Chain A
Amino acid sequence: MAAKGLRLVIVGGGAAGISAASTTKAIAPETSVVLFSEYEDVAYSPCGIPFVHGREIPNFEALFLQSRQHYADVGIDLQLETRVTRVDLRERKVYVGSRAYEWDRLIIATGFDYERPDIAGSDLEGLHYVKNIRRAMEFDRLLEQIKKVVVVSASPLGIEMAGNLARRGLETHLVDESGWLMSEVADPDIMQPVEESLKSLGTKIHLGTKVLGFVGSNGKVKSVKTTTGELDCDVAVMATHKRPNNLLAREAGLEIGSTGGILVDDRMRTRVDGVYAAGDCVEVIHGGTELPVQGLSGSHAYSQGRVAAANAVGEQRSYDPVFIPWGMVGGDVHVGGVSLGETLHKMLGIPHFVAAATGISRARYYPGVTKVRVKLIVEPKTLRVTGAQMAGGEGIKERADFLGFALKRGATLEDFAWMENVYSPPIGALMEPIALAAQAGLTQVKQLRQA
């Protein structure tokens, strides 16, 4: 357990930082905890911001989880709007300007920043990056006064923003270079229903289109120049790639991996004794391939923060390699899966075949029943399932969680084909769509072997 009087400094107040602070106080209350954040707030859900813009959530206050007073009450010293300018690993100090703070344990949780395109007009006013809740509140007020929005990049955030802004009645354009939505993680057949749903909400989708620059007037963006023409806009939402915010760590001399994330082991330890890192600024290991990956979800960051804190105060906790169950709503369609999908298998050249089927979410006669398409990606020799992707109207998230767990335990096509499943007309069909996909896969295998 933690030595009495242990001083823990946390840099960063996102999911990893705040969970690390709370975990520390829960298991070692005597530890002195100081958390630095350059922003005005902590403990809110940034992932909920697009849905407030879309009026699915009535106000931004709903996104806050805890008050500052709560953290003061449990003994966490929140230093907000305070930028750590330097970390000295030898002297064991962090600096805010010239002021030094000593630590016995340090947790770096500096999160991510968006890739800023190096193109004309990228410094114009009106280019909005969705991250900070105060800026989101200002942006939301601006949305009251404008008509046209261009969303740059069909990333998960780009899709959520495009759908919600269209739902709000704004003329919304979504621009991406790729051939389908979310091509970095998802497959085209899975994303096609999302594309149709976004279109039905009024979003104009421009795929295969590269943004060349932003054109301004009086310092404000007024259009986006692309390879397929110029799109008028009042604002541009930049949903570009997330990159680990590693400047402090890099300057301090911590080792950075090929993803740009800080290298940590499964205890979230860096190579420097007493220094831990967690969240979007680190790289972790993918369980299926053992390759380093970076930039996962808030739930990953949250868990990593807990593990880092537990180890920092003397407990022994490990964080397993990730299989990355994911899910989201694009337009009115639910999509999800477990990485890697078919595209990423092809990208890495991993031997695989695809087993797919379309089932239903409830009994066929029950009101509200929706189709559920399931794709399982399978290793041909062992028939071990190495990835999955799904699209439907409900139940995708739960299936992704289940598949993530099952894949981690090495489940095969045979296991899924003969799985037990819940049958209850309002919530589950007689034939589980995952089992149908696996059965289709076994039939393919049988036919191939006979041939």
Chain B
Amino acid sequence: METGRKQSFAERLRMAAEKYLREAAEEEMIKRYGDACTRPFRSNGVVSVIIRRLAVPLFLRIPWSLRRQMILRASYPSGRRPDWSSWQKGLSLKASDQSESGQNSGAQA
């Protein structure tokens, strides 16, 4: 099987956001733990510089609660998020049945 290569806009947005937000976080960590760090490699294209200097600082100024909502919206462009609410409702259903303990399926991996 091959890995799917056709990426949606949401996937490309997340990958780019992860890259530049991680870079920003690394810079902060270098300030705090300089002795444990080496200067990371940074690409110097115009787009990269604009994102680093403009988009990332602006994005990080948005309060976390709002930013989290923005990330969630971007994560599900169709607006349809799968239901993961069982555990919050206390309805979490565990596989407690000993008959499916997985003893034959590699449980001792």
User: Could you tell me which A residues sit within 8 Å of B by CB distance?
Assistant: 15, 18-19, 21-23, 25-27, 38, 43, 45, 47, 65-66, 70, 74, 83-84, 110, 112-113, 177-180, 183-184, 187-189, 191-192, 195, 207-210, 227, 243-251, 255-260, 263-266, 269, 271, 284-285, 287, 289-292, 298, 302, 306-307, 310, 316-318, 320-321, 342-344, 346-351
Separation in Å of the A198 CB from the closest CB of chain B?
14
Contact of B3 with A113 in the complex, beta carbons under 8 Å: yes
- With A180-B37, A188-B33, A244-B3 already in contact, the answer to whether A258 and B102 are too (CB < 8 A) is no
Please measure, in the bound complex, the distance between the C-alpha atom of A70 and the C-alpha atom of B91, giving whole angstroms. Answer: 35
| B45 beta carbon closer than 8 Å to chain A | no
**Cβ proximity bits B21-33 to A, threshold 8 Å, 1 near / 0 not:** 1101110111001
The answer to whether A320 touches B6, judged by C-beta atoms less than 8 angstroms apart, is no
Q: Decide: A179 and B76 in contact? CB cutoff 8 A.
A: no
Interface centre among A15, A25, A177, A260 (most CB of B within 10 A): A260
Q: Let me know if A66 and B104 touch, CB within 8 A.
A: yes
What residue in chain B is nearest A255 (Cβ atoms)? Answer: B78
Known contacts A188-B37, A266-B84: A258-B75 contact under CB 8 Å: yes
Knowing A26-B99, A45-B109, A247-B2, say if A257 contacts B36 (CB, 8 Å).
no
Answer whether residue B1 sits at the interface, using C-beta atoms and an 8 A cutoff: yes
The answer to whether B92 touches A350 (Cβ under 8 A) is: no
Closest chain B CB from A31 CB (angstroms): 13
A-B contacts, 14 of them at CB < 8 A, read A22-B102, A26-B101, A65-B108, A180-B37, A244-B4, A250-B4, A256-B4, A265-B84, A291-B75, A298-B109, A302-B107, A321-B84, A348-B64, A348-B71
Interfacial residues, chain B to chain A (CB-CB below 8 A): 1-8, 10-11, 13-14, 18, 21-22, 24-26, 28-30, 33, 35-41, 59-60, 62, 64, 67-68, 71-72, 74-76, 78, 80, 82-87, 91-95, 97, 99-102, 104-109
Please tell me if the beta carbons of B38 and A245 are within 8 angstroms of each other in the complex.
no
Q: Contact: B4 with A306, CB < 8 Å?
A: no
Tell me which of A189, A348, A350 has the highest count of chain B C-beta atoms within 10 A of its own C-beta.
Answer: A348
Q: Is the CB of A83 within 8 A of B1?
A: yes
Q: Which of A21, A25, A187, A347 contacts B33 (CB 8 A)?
A: A187
Q: Quick check: A263 and B106 within 8 Å, CB to CB? A: no
In angstroms, Cα B64 to Cα A307, docked, is 33
Q: A265-B82, A346-B25 are in contact. List 6 more A-B contacts (CB 8 A).
A: A23-B95, A25-B104, A208-B39, A247-B2, A291-B68, A318-B94
